Amino acid sequence: MDNKWIVKSKTFWGIVIMVLPAILPLVGVEDGAEVAGMADAVFNSLLTFVGGALALYGRFKATDSVTLAP
């Protein structure tokens, strides 16, 4: 089994996308627009769903293990 750098992993990027709605408010990043609470909740849910789906797809599709070094 070959190794690949972790940032080339679909699973890694899926997890990154999935946690963005939770992390961005903690570091002070706001959307900058006046968005209704419902639209913001839908966007966060959609981002979480897409990230989770990508992570699952990447995990099942994976043939190589990952490494932290490039």
What angle in degrees, to the nearest 10, is found between the helix axes of 10-23 and 37-61?
160
pTM, two decimal places: 0.71
Whole-Å CA distances, 64 to 15, 26, 39: 18, 33, 38
Closest-CA residue to 49 (of 20, 9, 26): 20
Predicted confidence at residue 37, as pLDDT, reads: 65
d(CA 51, CA 8): 15
Q: What ranges do the domains of the chain cover?
A: 3-67
The per-residue pLDDT for range 12-49, each reduced to its tens digit, is 999 999 988 888 777 877 655 555 666 777 888 888 89
d(CA 19, CA 3): 25
